Amino acid sequence: MLRLVLQRLALLVPTLLGLSVLLFLWVRALPGGPATALLGERATPAEVARVNALYGFDRPLPEQYLTWLGQLLQGNFGVSTRTGTPVLQEFWLRFPATIELTLMALLFAVGVGIPLGYLAARHQGRALDHVTVGVSLLGVTIPVFFLAFLLKWVFAVQLGLLPSAGRLSSSMIATHPTNFYVLDGLLTREWDAAWDALQHLVLPAVALGSIPLAIIARITRASVIEVQNADYVRTARAKGLRPSRLRRRVVLRNAMLPVATTIGLQVGLLLSGAVLTETVFAFNGIGSFLATAIFSLDYAVLQGFILFIAVIYALANLAVDVSYGLIDPRMRAR
Amino acid sequence: MDAVDGPLLSIRDLDVGFRTDQGTALAVRGASFEVHAGETVAVVGESGSGKSTTAAAVVGLLAPNGSVTGGQIHFQGIDLLRAGRAGIARVRGKEIGLVPQDPMSNLNPVVRVGRQIAETLEDNGVVRGPAARRRAVELLDEAGLPDAAARAHQYPHELSGGMRQRVLIAMGLACRPRLLIADEPTSALDVTVQRTILDHLDTLTADLGTAVLLITHDLGLAAERADRVVVMYRGEVVEQGPALDLLRSPRHEYTRRLSAAAPSLASARLTPARPSPPRDAPDTPDNIVEVDGVTKVFRLRGPGLLGRGRDLTAVDDVSFTIPRGTTVALVGESGSGKSTVARMVLDLLTPTAGEIRFNGRAVSGARRDRAAEVRFRKQVQPVFQDPYSSLDPLYSVHRTIEEPLRAHRLGSPDRRRERVEELMDAVALPLDLLRRYPGELSGGQRQRVAIARALAVDPDLVVCDEAVSALDVIVQSQILHLLADLQQRWGLSYLFITHDLAVVRQIADEVCVVQGGRVVESGPVDQVFEAPREGYTRALLDAIPGRSLDLGARSG
């Protein structure tokens, strides 16, 4: 197992290197340039050239790339051309919010999706099954931003049960050593702050997690139905296994393999979906920052953020591969 | 258990129905038979005869859309159909054990085999905890699994088919049931393995006094293993009685057909091979295929990224010839390399060493010349084992048979249609099947379609890789007759790859026995069958079920 992890981590290096080249070229292929975005349409060529020289954008591309790569290896992600702050500093400010939101959404999707799919499979063809299939279809078809507005309107505006925007109530004064607000509250024992942050997470997480939930529920349902009809389940029944053991050990465990794959794929969807959800709930994550970075062609920010997302995505899928091995011994041999 | 007078298991007028879109289909109709304590009863029939459904009904494990619609099942005097879910669940595993058919799919792939037996013991209240684990090892050992203590810690995928079947036997007998239902327990295994496992099962159940309900499609095997035989056909019990009586004087017409078709009992070639004239010519024998010292080495990937690879010699210096117009069979167990030889003859694999000549020309050389390869592909056609997966499910029967004609750009559409109809006629399929799809055909019909497709381009050589292994005995016999008949009419040559010596006897002129990649014995079929020189050949022959039966005068 350790061997697999090390192998995969080693494979990550060439993957990221290749991605960095593509990313570097892609960002520069966008129309316009950071200098024009910074100085506006009426900037004189001389001014543009000055800004380009300042950031080194006048150097040959290979040289620019190598400089960037060299800095990356030293942990320097460059400086934002728009705000002038180091990219890394922006990371620590905003990424925790997005990760917190993504994790909550994933937790919601997995925590509700798997039991829902399992129950639907057990009651295949009956009312609960039809409801689940219908709801999951609805979950996939409703656009995230629409669901987000709907949730906000019902639960925050009409019922007033949950906060409608932001990461923390404005009246709440708390310290933030890690910028993961819930974690901060727990670490500093400011329980009320943790609770408040958690409440702020609920609606965005539900909105963001709805599509993954629907997909996970459907895959779980299909997978459980398939496993239920497998020969070894019949044999397990024939040998007199207790129903509880049959469900846990035989059906559920065997059905989890395709579900694990799906969950890994959802992480990417969640990260990209977070941008929209954050906007609706005025959640100060990377979403809005990334959007402005695209419009202002903030090379360093774009490159750094996307690379970072790629690493998270790769690690999430590595976690999925490790979970394969835990679920299914046949995967360990490879 | 308190002794109950009368039979251990009694099935009376059993009806089992399956709900389908077209209404309820009866899979078992009015079946009645009994199993007494300690007795072995075999239920024989082809697939779809209701034999497995009957067994499933006994333990209450019918498919979700199936249900018992009439009759009674009494086990030790208890009415199982009235016992309710909990009642049947109490009996399962503890009183009635089950050994299922396919060892590959019947073990939980994610749990160690020892644990799977231990949980059987625990859930049936025999022993728990460490004692259950120790008992599981004992049971595996008893079922004949070598090195049981170590094997108990392995997962199913780390064991061979034969070992897995032993695990399933250990599991079925774990709680010392009074009745063991063995549903085709060895059909998926090699004949020699099949024999040792059945022998072992016999001894075990005899020692324990367990009654056995043996479900099988092989009448020879049933007669050899059972005290009494129950013959089922289309959901009904058509005949039952003591095994030998039934074989010697079958009363029902279906039993007669079954016993005539049973390959294990057949004794001679279906149609005598044409005395091929060229073979008499002493100087130049006319061989369509010459396999000359062929070796195939596969490189196995080692563990890890940089792991050292390992060489596996799948075929080791194999030589044989196929005289034109005759059938040569390669027979061997799984892993013997016989299919690798077939793939090399088909030029789907290139030999590592040696040469294969077809009509005097090197086969693997054809690859370099596109036109020569097309010519070669037209002359040599394959028929594969599984008629379910070797036909494209999206092609109609007509399209399937026409496909090779199109590929080789033969004839106009009208001419092709005529040819397809001719071929349908040759393989004895009605023309109204032409518009059907493979999913709508039976296994035998599909294999006929596969044969028609192979014959469409008028090949000289047909390579049949286990072409009849997946079929029921009666259908198998029909297909073998068809192949023999086509050979006589069209002068085809066959290379027959099979694990089943009984099939060899029915179809082949010459046989090569393959073991571990080498030909250990070869010669004319009669000679090899009557006077086998090698111990391995003898073991294979002895393993054919039903061979030991003395059936007296029987017309072939």
Chain B (303-332) residues lying within 8 Å, Cβ to Cβ, of chain A: 304-305
The pLDDT, as a whole number, for residue B289 is: 93
Instruction: List, for residues A88-106, the tens digit of each pLDDT value.
Output: 888 888 888 888 899 999 9
Q: Judging by DSSP bridges, how do beta strands B211-216 and B40-44 pair with one another?
A: parallel
How far is the C-alpha of A85 from the C-alpha of B104, rounded, in Å? 62
Question: Which residue has tokens 């010699």?
Answer: B313
User: pLDDT digit string (tens) for A123-167?
Assistant: 888 888 888 888 888 878 888 888 888 888 888 888 888 887 888
Same domain, B152 and B290: no
Looking at the structure, do residues B500 and B370 belong to the same domain, yes or no? yes
Any CB–CB contact under 8 A between B217 and chain A? no
Instruction: Indicate which CATH number applies to the domain containing B67.
Output: 3.40.50.300
- In order of A70, A330, B153, B198, the CA distances from B164 in angstroms are 56, 15, 13, 14
- Does residue B327 belong to any structural domain of this protein? yes
Q: Provide the domain limits for residue B12.
A: 1-95+177-262
**Facing residues of B291 across strands?**
B320, B356
Residues B90 and B118 in one domain: no
Q: Which stretches of B389-542 are assigned E, i.e. beta strand?
A: 461-465, 493-498, 510-515, 518-524
Q: Can you read off the two tokens belonging to residue B356? A: 């294969």
Q: Which residues contact A171 (CB under 8 A, 6 or more apart)?
A: none
> If DSSP codes are grouped into helix, strand and coil, which group holds residue B325?
coil
Indicate whether B268 belongs to any domain.
no
Please check whether residue B71 lies inside any domain of the structure: yes
pLDDT in tens, chain B (556 residues): 444 568 999 999 999 998 877 788 888 999 999 999 989 999 998 877 889 899 999 998 888 888 899 999 999 988 998 888 888 888 999 999 999 988 888 999 999 999 999 999 999 988 999 999 999 999 999 888 888 999 999 999 888 888 898 999 999 999 999 999 999 888 777 777 788 888 888 998 999 899 999 998 888 888 888 999 999 998 999 999 998 888 888 889 888 888 777 655 555 555 554 444 444 444 567 899 999 999 999 877 655 545 566 788 889 999 999 999 999 999 988 778 888 999 999 988 889 999 999 998 888 755 667 888 888 889 999 998 777 788 888 999 999 999 999 988 888 999 999 999 999 988 888 998 898 888 888 888 888 899 999 999 989 999 998 888 777 778 888 888 889 988 998 899 999 998 888 888 888 999 999 998 899 999 998 898 888 998 888 888 887 776 666 554 343 3
Interatomic CA distance for residues B165 and B194, integer angstroms: 10
- Of all residues in chain A, the one with the smallest CA distance to B172 is A239
Is B267 at the interface with chain A, CB within 8 A? Answer: no
Task: Kindly state whether residues B359 and B226 are assigned to the same domain.
Answer: no
Backbone angles phi, psi at B82, to 5 degrees: -100, -10
Rg (CA), chain B: 26
Say which CATH topology domain A92-295 has. Answer: MetI-like fold (1.10.3720)
B71 & B116 share domain? no
In the predicted model, what is the mean pLDDT of residues A186-193? 82
Chain A interface mutation, best of B59, B123, B157, highest count of A Cβ atoms under 10 Å: B123
Determine contact, residues B97/A240, Cβ cutoff 8 Å: no
3-state secondary structure of B425: helix
One-letter amino acid at B17 equals G
* Nearest C-alpha neighbor of B11 from the set B59, B75, B56, B62: B75
Res B278: pLDDT: 44
- Name the residue ranges covered by the structural domains of chain A: 92-295
Position B553 in a domain: no
Cα B457 to Cα A35, A200, B420, B497, distances in angstroms: 70, 72, 10, 22
Put simply, whether B114 touches A (Cβ < 8 Å) is no
Question: Which chain B residues are closer than 8 Å to A234 by Cβ?
Answer: 61, 100, 106
The full DSSP string for B16-75 is EEEEETTEEEEEEEEEEEEE-TT-EEEEE--TTSSHHHHHHHHTT---TTEEEEEEEEEE
Residues β-bridged to residue B295: B353
B64 & B118 share domain: no
Q: Pick A241's closest partner by Cβ from B98, B109, B119.
A: B119
Minimum CA–CA partner of A325 in chain B: B110
- Dihedral of the alpha carbons of A35, A37, A41, A47, in degrees to the nearest 10: -20
Beta bridge partners of B289: B322, B358
Strands B287-300 and B380-383, how do they pair?
unpaired
0.85 surpassed by complex ipTM? no
Secondary structure class of B251 (helix, strand, coil): coil
Biggest alpha carbon–alpha carbon distance for chain B: 78
What's the CA gap between B51 and B40, in Å, rounded? 15
Contacts of B119 in chain A (CB under 8 A): 241, 245, 249
Q: Do B157 and A330 touch (CB under 8 A)?
A: yes
Tell the residue number behind the tokens 């009651």, with chain if given: A123
Angle formed at CA A137 by CA A133 and CA A142, multiple of 5 degrees: 150
Q: How many helices (H) and strands (E) in chain B?
A: 20, 20
Contact B107/B167 with Cβ under 8 angstroms?
yes
Distance between CA atoms of residues B183 and B189, nearest Å: 13
Residues B213 and B359 in one domain: no
Residues belonging to chain B? 556
Number of Cβ pairs < 8 A linking chain A and chain B: 79
- The answer to whether B92 faces chain A, any CB pair under 8 Å, is yes
Nearest to B89 among A236, A240, A330 (CB): A240
B120 touches chain A (CB under 8 A): yes
Q: Is the CB of B61 less than 8 angstroms away from the CB of A240?
A: no
CA distance B33 to A75: 80
Taking residues A176-182, what's their average pLDDT?
80
Mark yes or no for CB contact A245/B111 under 8 Å.
no
Q: Does B61 lie in the same domain as B112? A: no
Interface residue B367 vs chain A (CB under 8 A):
no
Is residue B549 one of the residues assigned to a domain?
no
- The domain boundary, picked from B154, B172, B190, lies at B172
Helix (H, G, I), strand (E, B) or coil at B145: coil
Contact across the interface for A245 and B119, Cβ inside 8 Å: yes
Q: What angle do CA A118, A120, A122 make, to 5 degrees?
A: 70
Interatomic CA distance for residues A10 and A6, integer angstroms: 6
Q: Which of A250, A327, A333 sits opposite B108 (nearest CB)?
A: A250
Q: Which of A235, A246, A253, A257 has the most B C-beta neighbours within 10 Å, making it the best mutation to test the interface with B?
A: A235
Burial of A334 (0-12, 13-18, 19+ CB in 10 A): exposed
Tokens, residue B295: 């070796």
Per CB-CB distance under 8 Å, the chain B contacts of A328 are: 109-110
For chain A, the average pLDDT equals 85
B137: in domain: yes
Say which of A231, A242, A327 has its CB closest to residue B123: A242
Rounded Cα distance, A97 and A279, in Å: 13
> Quick one: DSSP state of residue B302?
P
Is B277 contained in some domain? no
Residues B117, B26, single domain; the answer is no
How many structural domains does chain B have? 3
Question: Is B548 domain-assigned?
Answer: no
Question: Rounded to whole angstroms, how far apart are CA atoms A3 and B223?
Answer: 54
Same domain, B165 and B258: no
User: What does the block give as tokens for A257?
Assistant: 């393999």
pLDDT at B529: 87
Last residue of a domain, one of B172, B191, B209: B172
Tell which of B146, B172, B198 closes a domain: B172
Pair type for strands B66-75 and B40-44:
unpaired
- Same domain? B458 vs B383: yes
Average pLDDT on A250-255 reads: 91
Supply the pLDDT for residue B280: 47
**Per-residue pLDDT averaged across A252-277, rounded?**
85
Q: Give the strands of the sheet with B327-331, arranged side by side.
A: B380-383, B461-465, B493-498, B327-331, B510-515, B518-524
Buried-state track B70-100, b at ≥16 Cβ within 10 A, e below 16: ebebbbbebebbebeeeebbebbbbbbbbbb
B23 and B141 assigned to the same domain: no
Query: Coil, strand or helix: which one is B250?
Result: coil
